């Protein structure tokens, strides 16, 4: 499903180039939950940003269902990202002036879904993550765990095949973190999503079926 081949990324900011990734390869199948671990600055977020099409690799290839996303033009990449990939971030990245349901409908409306079906779909997913009673709350009126569940609902809006999560429990207490991790692992186990989780939290790692360790921009030999 996801095939990452010899991925390299060098940042040229300041005097000295930073070789953030120096040749990372791995594969991920539907229903599989892979954790990417490793020390701070080792290149974990860079991997997610490249897979998510937020940035271009210096070298290497990323294939989703056999199709390279590296060579797509901007419009195609935006379409692909919106429909096939769901993102979950450490800081939730919800729009503060919008309610829970508005945050979830926004990508649908941007993608051309009609208002009525977008509202229906958003309500259904928010109910599924246990927030049917919080549809019209803004992020400041929600707990951290609830905000992250809105973000999970938003990531599921288009029923993506691939879920990318970067330290999703980084800002949560243990109880909310557990709830969020159970929800994320259910996406792989019960809904057949391919899940790629970046974290250095051992508790989160324990939910994954497989772990790779990134050190200095390379996959550490198991």
Q: What mask of x and - would describe binding to ligand ATP in positions 46 to 65, judged by CB under 6 A?
A: x-------------------
**Binder of residue 192, out of Mg ion, ligand ATP, none (CB less than 5 to 8 A by kind):** none
End-to-end CA distance of the chain: 22
Structure tokens at 136: 């019209």
Alpha carbon dihedral 129, 171, 218, 192, in 10-degree steps, equals -10
Residue labelled with tokens 């309610």: 99
Task: Identify any residues that bridge with 87 across adjacent strands, giving them in sequence order.
Answer: 164
Strand partners, 4: 26, 62
- Name which of 106 and 211 has its Cβ closer to ligand ATP: 211
Q: Which residues bind Mg ion (CB under 5 A)?
A: 45
Write out the H or E segment, with its range, that includes residue 178. helix 174-189
| # residues contacting ligand ATP (CB under 6 A) | 12
Nearer to ligand ATP, 45 or 113 (CB): 45
Question: What is the per-residue binding string for ligand ATP in 8-27, x denoting contact by CB under 6 A?
Answer: ---x-x----x-x-------
- To Mg ion, the closest distance from the beta carbon of 16 in angstroms equals 20
Encoded one letter per residue, x for contact with ligand ATP by CB under 6 A and - for no contact, window 114-143 reads: ------------------------------
Whole-number Å distance between alpha carbons of 167 and 157: 20
Which tokens belong to 1?
């499903």
- Residues of the shown chain interacting with ligand ATP in the complex, contacts defined by CB under 6 A: 11, 13, 18, 20, 38, 40-46
């Amino acid at each position: 499903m996801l095939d990452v081949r010899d991925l390299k990324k060098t940042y040229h900011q300041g005097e000295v180039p930073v070789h953030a990734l120096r040749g990372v390869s791995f594969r991920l199948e539907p229903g599989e939950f892979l954790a990417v671990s490793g020390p701070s600055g080792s290149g974990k977020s860079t991997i997610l940003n490249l897979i998510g099409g937020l940035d271009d690799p210096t070298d290497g290839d990323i294939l989703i269902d056999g199709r390279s996303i590296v060579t797509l033009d901007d419009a195609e990449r935006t379409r692909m990202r919106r429909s096939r990939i769901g993102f979950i971030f450490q800081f939730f990245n919800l729009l503060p002036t919008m309610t829970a349901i508005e945050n979830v409908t926004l990508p649908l409306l941007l993608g051309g879904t009609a208002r009525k079906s977008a509202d229906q779909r958003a309500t259904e997913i928010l109910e599924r993550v246990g927030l049917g009673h919080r549809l019209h709350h803004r992020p400041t009126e929600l707990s951290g765990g609830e905000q992250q569940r809105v973000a999970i609902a938003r990531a599921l809006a288009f029923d993506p095949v691939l879920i990318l999560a970067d330290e999703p429990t980084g800002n949560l207490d243990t109880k909310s973190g557990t709830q969020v991790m159970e929800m994320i692992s259910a996406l792989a186990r019960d809904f057949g999503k391919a899940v790629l989780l970046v974290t250095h939290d051992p508790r989160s790692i324990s939910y994954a079926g497989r772990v790779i360790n990134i050190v200095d921009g390379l996959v550490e030999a198991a």
